[in-house]
Structure 1
């Protein structure tokens, strides 16, 4: 069972990391895609490099943000490995998406400084390119530009919040509930 859980955690992480890095490479190396309307008034590719945190928050220097992201990801991984036996499959799958997204953005921070010649390790900027351009009057509905890693992280966090009772149940809790139900059925008087 432990090997299955490791697979459930690692496969989504690897898939998200691969898709994220592939799409960023395509955008980075294809100038005609760097500013392209996909659905007029709704969706665009708009290439940018984000030196800060999510949603363009830029409170700290890029190397500090990179270090914090690496430490946080390592902390999450250590927690997941220690609690693997008790974690549910659904929870691990969504956490795999979060880990994959985090690794995708960390990869940019480690390597993009070298690629663009604007710094070294931990000085790279995260590549963002997906932009929902819907406007109501002069107000942009969602003014942030993001990437595949951000989508994986956001969908996972929202799913964990919405479906927390199902996804956050530990296997031990589920098993004990099932055994309690079986005991109750066995103890109930039979109808003849």
Structure 2
């Protein structure tokens, strides 16, 4: 049953993540924006060739390394999730692991294939799916689509502030996607509840060993 839960969560996150990304690519020009809730939530289309939340890593060679690292992480992640299910870890840990795995797989799909199946997005034209002349990049060179933007708070740093004194700031500035959000929720939840997740499993293992010992003694 737990295998089914893991697969369901991964598939659900992937479907939502990829459906939104494909819709954005085929309906919005680069940097187009849709205001969902004024002042705090917008759909703002950007792409990045690097890591989560728009961070970049080492140019073209770095892009290949990062994509291969994502692929390696997803493969290891699937193997590790299988191990956690077999060892009967708590449902909470499995949910968090599933979110992290799904998020990594979602961004991996962009990196692996989007360069081949979409034309380039720009300020004047919406990208085409499977364009006749081929995509904007090759295998491993796709850009990750980001769109979730929460500029919750805008203001200026105080003039006495030691860094960026008097300059404007936006919180929360990074633009991200559903896959990034799934990874962040999974990681943060594990960090917050790690003692509960792992202590419960160790307690369960200890109880099982005690029962086995009693059974052997009888």
TM-score when normalising by structure 1: 0.83
Indicate the residue corresponding to 1:59 in structure 2.
Answer: 57
- 1:178: how far off? 8.2
Residue 192 (structure 2) pairs with residue 162 (structure 1): yes
Contact kept, 8 Å, 2:73 with 2:104, in 1: the verdict is: no
Please identify, of 82-91 and 37-46, the stretch whose mean Cα deviation from structure 2 is larger: 82-91
Indicate the residue corresponding to 1:68 in structure 2.
Answer: 69
Distance 1:50 1:160 in 2: 27
Contact kept, 8 Å, 1:62 with 1:125, in 2: the verdict is: no
Q: Deviations over 1:42-74 (max 9, x none)?
A: 111110111001232212232211101111121
Q: Deviations over 1:55-106 (max 9, x none)?
A: 3221223221110111112122222223432222221121111111111111
Contact kept, 8 Å, 2:104 with 2:179, in 1: the verdict is: yes
Residue 79 (structure 2) pairs with residue 49 (structure 1): no
Residue 178 (structure 2) pairs with residue 148 (structure 1): yes
Contact kept, 8 Å, 1:52 with 1:62, in 2: the verdict is: yes
- 1:175: how far off? 5.2
Contact kept, 8 Å, 2:28 with 2:45, in 1: the verdict is: no
Contact kept, 8 Å, 2:84 with 2:94, in 1: the verdict is: no
Structure 1 consecutive aligned stretches of length 4 or more whose deviation exceeds 6 Å = none
Q: Kindly report the root-mean-square deviation, in angstroms, between the aligned alpha carbons of the 2 structures.
A: 2.4
Distance 1:17 1:44 in 2: 21
Indicate the residue corresponding to 1:189 in structure 2.
Answer: none
- Listed as ranges, the matches of 1:16-165 within 5 Å are 16-31=13-28, 34-60=32-58, 61-86=62-87, 87-114=89-116, 115-116=118-119, 117-137=135-155, 138-165=168-195
How many residues end up aligned between the 2 structures?
179
Distance 1:58 1:83 in 2: 32
Which structure has the highest helix share of the two?
Answer: 1
Distance 1:14 1:81 in 2: 16
TM-score when normalising by structure 2: 0.74
Distance 2:25 2:32 in 1: 7
Contact kept, 8 Å, 1:97 with 1:152, in 2: the verdict is: yes
Q: Which runs of 5+ in 2 are unaligned?
A: 120-134, 156-167, 211-218
Contact kept, 8 Å, 2:54 with 2:176, in 1: the verdict is: no
Q: Which runs of 5+ in 1 are unaligned?
A: 181-192
